[in-house]
Amino acid sequence: MIYKKGKYLNVCGFYLCGIDFYGRANKLYCSQECKQAHNNRKASNVSKAAKGEDLKIRKAISILLDLFNADKEGKFIISTVDLVSKAFPFDLPTGKVKDDRHNEVMNSIGSFCFYQQDGNFIFYKI
């Protein structure tokens, strides 16, 4: 690290700035503005991503609510092909849930949980 008059040469961590500046060794940004700009950008990326996920989840749940038709055990079996034909968004962020009705951990989405078997999706209501 280059050291001059009690300060270290750093590179500003805001990618649109990126200038060299002298400061404390652990100083990440050349200015308060750059620090804020970096943090704002990070926050807006997160909310953008969350909104995208949110839409997918809502779409998936509305498709499931339409189709869901459980048997006596509360089980609803649907083929992957049928889900594809409904434009079901498969790239969903899912949780994990353990449920007595299936002896392995299942994926969860909204108020549904599911596992895959032989080209089918098996859904339960949580």
Among the listed ranges 16-24, 48-56, 80-88, 95-103, the one in contact with Zn ion (CB under 5 A) is 16-24
**To the nearest whole angstrom, how small is the minimum distance from the Cβ of residue 11 to Zn ion?**
9
Q: Does 37 bind Zn ion (CB under 5 A)?
A: no
Binding of Zn ion at residue 109 (CB under 5 A)? no
34 binds Zn ion (CB under 5 A): yes
Is 38 one of the binding residues for Zn ion (CB under 5 A)? no
Order of all β-strands in the sheet with 20-23: 3-4, 7-11, 20-23
Structure-block tokens of residue 28: 């990440």
User: What is the rounded CA–CA span in Å between residue 117 and residue 122?
Assistant: 7
Phi and psi at residue 20, in whole multiples of 5°?
-80, 140
| 17 near Zn ion, judged by CB under 5 A | yes
Helix (H) or strand (E) holding 78: strand 75-79
**What are the residues binding Zn ion (CB under 5 A)?**
12, 14, 17, 30, 34
